[in-house]
Structure 1
Amino acid sequence: MRMRITAVLGMLLLLIAATAAIALGTGEAPLSYGRIAPTLFGYGSMQEAFILFSLRLPRIVITLLAGMALALSGAMLQGTTRNELADPGILGINAGAGAGVAIFFLFFPIEAGTFLYALPLVALVGALLTAAAMYAVSYHQTTGLQPVSFVLTGIGFSMALSGLMIILISAADRTKVDFIARWLSGNIWGDDWPFVWAMLPWLVIGALIGLYRAKRLNLLHLGDPVAIGVGVHVRRERLVLMATAVAVAAAAVAVTGGISFIGLMAPHIAKMIIGPRHERAIPAAMLIGGWLLLAADTIGRNVLAEPLPAGVVVSFIGAPYFIYLLLKR
């Protein structure tokens, strides 16, 4: 089994490397594949260095990190809620983070340098408030957290927060409307190195917590009676894991916008390939999520004459997959 896991992770890394290589050589600014390696090692022209290090590489890195964060969040949410349909986008967590970012952007003027690092915190506050409200509505004192109720509540909150975003847009000036519209469409707008450094700590800490508590996540996924029977403090573990899932999703959403379905698809694909145990599935899901978002962004930027946001490309795949899961259940 260990050899199989290593082989799967190695293949996923190769797939990511191949997709990243394609992304490096494609785009509006010309950079031939034959010039990528010399430019990486410092032998390119100033224009080639600018295209590679200031335009292409930061976008690729932030897209990978955001896809990994959304996949990690989805895996943890599916485990804690015992629901295969759980996803930070579907449950309204992304919408809560987006509403927080929109309110902050419209009504709290702040310097650009501080704005980058404040975004994940603001998105986290919005997402945590949304998740807390959802948890309060769907939690029952006698039966605990109800998976179906939690998902339906999340869909309702997502619709309500989307309406709030429309109201905010209608009251904003043109330049700020453009920013929020890009966010809503899932456009990778935070494509510079400062956004990478602003998001990276959130993903690293979230991944460490998820892997450290993976065995408890396995027990929670089996149901509260089983977890309680082996001594797991169910409410505390669920709150810690859900807060972590919300935090990493909020950090991703703050720099990529409203991207759904990555957190739904990546954990499912990982479990089909590598099995249901979270200590194995989480690393695979993170790599799959990173690759899915990178591939979607690369396709969206290059297939049509007008670039498509990555969120729209992901939705073309994710929406049918969500319907398939609904029919399957």
Structure 2
Amino acid sequence: MQDLASRRRARAIWIGSCLLAIAFVVIAISLNTGSIKIGPLTVVQTLFGYGTPDDELVLFEYRLPRIIITMLAGIGLGISGAILQAISRNALADPGIIGLHAGSSFGLIVFVTLFSSMKGASALMLPLFTFSGGILATCLIVLLANDRHRGLQPIRLLLVGIAIAAGFSAITLYLSLRLDENTYAFAARWLAGSVWGRDWIHVVALLPWIVLLVPYAWMRAQALNLFSLGDEIAIGVGEAVQRKRLLLLGCAVGLSGASVAMVGGIGFIGLVAPHLARRLVGPRQQYVLPISGLVGLVILVTSDTIGRSIFEPNAIPAGVVVAAVGAPYFLYLLVKTKS
């Protein structure tokens, strides 16, 4: 048994190292590409303080904040999806499908209605608005999915979440149509998953959510492992199932809401990343959670790089690139589930 655990740990470390190497390569390519071309050697010189003022402006004010935002959001969305799939025991659970993105989008529309933009110190409040919208959606989902005798039922959690997502999406669309032309254009770009225009204030707004909630989720990995065995077994070994499920659900909402606040309504990362992680390292959540985060990081940084470099000068949002890959994968999972 110890030998098997050692092999799993070694495999997880190996896979994690490979993903970090892939992430490093993608980030290096992202720093070099864009509407203004900067050579690899110039990038290195600029990062160490020996670049020209123009190169420093492009790298430090435009590209680095955007890359860091996509890295953090990719980690948040990947781990949020892994948590939701574990607590719902449903391989098709995802922050977008279950309704969390729709609630966060509602929070954003309320934010832009009050502040009209994401510039300046007001950007620090944006994750609070999207988190509040996500919490509102979660409370409705939990209220409607909860059984008086059996507690929170995972299958009802997913079905109710889909219905809540549809309702919040309709409200968000109605409110967005009441915005002025410029604010509506900004909201539309955000909802499409555009990461254009992010700067260091947005990094500061997102970083605390990832730094605090990711370690918390990893420390609760054993509870997630027990959830996969069923509530009866988890209760039998002394686990406070309903309380832990609600706490971890709140953690997933926080990671999803804060990430969505900065990169928009990007779907499918929370669905695809945990699936790939389980294929790579097995079902143990101690390994699935960090690998899901790294897979999400690679997917989102790669998607943003593709969207703004291959299709230049008409860059397309990262959310469109992710959907182009995620939608076929979702259909594949549906067919596989039926079979």
Q: Same fold (TM over 0.5)?
A: yes
In 1, Cα distance between equivalents of 2:125 and 2:132: 11
Aligned partners of 2:142 and 2:157 also within 8 Å: yes
In 1, Cα distance between equivalents of 2:318 and 2:117: 28
Q: Which letter maps to 2:319?
A: G
Q: CA deviation at 1:103?
A: 1.2
TM-score, length-scaled by structure 2: 0.94
Residue 269 (structure 1) aligned with residue 276 (structure 2): yes
Aligned partners of 1:189 and 1:255 also within 8 Å: no
Secondary structure class of the residue paired with 1:39:
helix
In 2, Cα distance between equivalents of 1:213 and 1:181: 36
In 2, Cα distance between equivalents of 1:106 and 1:71: 29
Which residues in structure 2 correspond to 1:173-212 (within 5 Å)? 173-189=180-196, 191-212=198-219
State percent identity of aligned pairs. Answer: 43
Residue 224 (structure 1) aligned with residue 231 (structure 2): yes
Which residues in structure 2 correspond to 1:1-329 (within 5 Å)? 1=7, 2-107=9-114, 112-189=119-196, 191-305=198-312, 306-329=314-337
Q: Which letter maps to 2:30?
A: A
Q: Number of aligned pairs?
A: 329
CA separation of 1:69 and 1:142: change in aligned 2, threshold 3 A: same
Q: Which letter maps to 1:308?
A: I
Q: Which letter maps to 1:250?
A: G
Q: Which letter maps to 2:280?
A: I
CA separation of 1:64 and 1:182: change in aligned 2, threshold 3 A: same
In 2, Cα distance between equivalents of 1:236 and 1:292: 32
Q: Which letter maps to 2:109?
A: A
Secondary structure class of the residue paired with 2:149:
coil
In 2, Cα distance between equivalents of 1:206 and 1:302: 32
In 1, Cα distance between equivalents of 2:331 and 2:151: 27
Note the alpha carbon deviations across 1:134-181, whole angstroms, 9 max, x for none.
Answer: 111122123333333222222222222221122112211011101110
Report which stretch shifted further, 187-196 or 17-26: 187-196
In 2, Cα distance between equivalents of 1:239 and 1:163: 26
Aligned partners of 1:100 and 1:126 also within 8 Å: yes
Q: CA deviation at 1:274?
A: 0.5
Secondary structure class of the residue paired with 1:222:
coil
Q: CA deviation at 1:262?
A: 0.4
CA separation of 1:328 and 1:110: change in aligned 2, threshold 3 A: closer
Gaps of 5+ in 2: 1-6
Aligned partners of 2:87 and 2:154 also within 8 Å: no
Q: CA deviation at 1:108?
A: 5.4
Q: Which letter maps to 1:203?
A: I
Secondary structure class of the residue paired with 1:200:
helix
Q: CA deviation at 1:92?
A: 1.4
Q: CA deviation at 1:114?
A: 3.2
In 1, Cα distance between equivalents of 2:174 and 2:321: 26
Secondary structure class of the residue paired with 1:36:
helix
Q: Which letter maps to 1:98?
A: S
In 1, Cα distance between equivalents of 2:222 and 2:305: 35
TM-score, length-scaled by structure 1: 0.96
> What residue number does 2:4 align with?
none
Note the alpha carbon deviations across 1:184-241, whole angstroms, 9 max, x for none.
Answer: 1011146211111111110111111111110011001211001000000011000100
Q: CA deviation at 1:302?
A: 1.5
Aligned partners of 1:69 and 1:249 also within 8 Å: yes
In 1, Cα distance between equivalents of 2:54 and 2:125: 32
CA separation of 1:197 and 1:87: change in aligned 2, threshold 3 A: same
Aligned partners of 1:31 and 1:51 also within 8 Å: no
Q: CA deviation at 1:307?
A: 1.0
CA separation of 1:289 and 1:241: change in aligned 2, threshold 3 A: same
After superposition, the CA RMSD in angstroms is 1.5
Gaps of 5+ in 1: none
CA separation of 1:111 and 1:255: change in aligned 2, threshold 3 A: closer
In 1, Cα distance between equivalents of 2:37 and 2:72: 25
Report which stretch shifted further, 77-86 or 110-119: 110-119
Q: Which letter maps to 2:247?
A: V
In 2, Cα distance between equivalents of 1:103 and 1:263: 24
Aligned partners of 1:206 and 1:248 also within 8 Å: yes
